[in-house]
Chains A and B, each alone.
Chain A
């Protein structure tokens, strides 16, 4: 039975000059990447453009020998696509739009509290990054933090569920937050786009 060649092998072959390896990589991940882009921009032509720009960046980086994420080809490409989607939304903001006058601002009458598409993408990314950080915490601290933040449980409920006293649960939560801050500082992570 034929076995699919690993992405890392194809990347290496492509860097060594095998152009066919790139074709396999593009065809292999075409649907996943295009669907991801399309799910954000909801326009076939724009999705196509961003897909093309993504792979132009991929090609340039690989040919220049600047690629260093061996074995993580798809997440790397997805990150490039993700950044290009954000660029697309940022550029769109500069398009001419009605701003109202000094006396009247349309947005004081109508308002949308929801995040816009760019905001949603950034929030999604922050949530994902935060989940990875939480995963680094010791198991007992992680458990309390997940129950409190994600399941909105009270410390009384946490104490009943975990079999520890309320004070211990509070202490674990405190250390979880201290440790999260330490991890963030250690890795110089910025969780907002401000």
Chain B
């Protein structure tokens, strides 16, 4: 009897964000300050 074997393909691709993206996010986080005043929250980016 004929047997049909399907070729197994690995469809799962691993990807990683670039170091520049991570550096940007860390810098963004460091520069972001949230100021609370009378129940309001203000965002401030200190570059």
Interface residues of A (CB under 8 A from B): 19, 22-23, 26-27, 30-31, 33-35, 37-39, 44, 47-48, 51-52, 55-56, 59-60, 63-65
Interchain CB contact under 8 A, B16 and A31:
yes
Q: How many A-B residue pairs have CB under 8 A?
A: 60
- Tell me what chain B mostly uses at the interface: helix, strand, loop, or mixed: mixed
CB-nearest residue of chain A to B23:
A23
Interchain CB contact under 8 A, A60 and B43:
yes
B21-36 CB contacts (< 8 Å) to partner A: 21-22, 24-26, 28-30, 32-34
Interchain CB contact under 8 A, A26 and B25:
yes
Contact partners of A27 in chain B: CB under 8 A: 22
Count of B interface residues, CB-CB < 8 Å = 20
Interface residues of B (CB under 8 A from A): 12-18, 21-22, 24-26, 28-30, 32-34, 41, 43
Given the known inter-chain contacts A26-B22, A48-B18, A48-B21, please indicate yes or no for A59 contacting B13, CB distance below 8 A: no
Given the known inter-chain contacts A38-B13, A39-B12, A48-B17, please indicate yes or no for A22 contacting B29, CB distance below 8 A: yes
Contact partners of A39 in chain B: CB under 8 A: 12-13
Given the known inter-chain contacts A63-B34, A64-B34, please indicate yes or no for A52 contacting B12, CB distance below 8 A: no
Q: Which of B12, B16, B33, B43 has the most CB of A within 10 A?
A: B16
Interchain CB contact under 8 A, A19 and B30:
yes
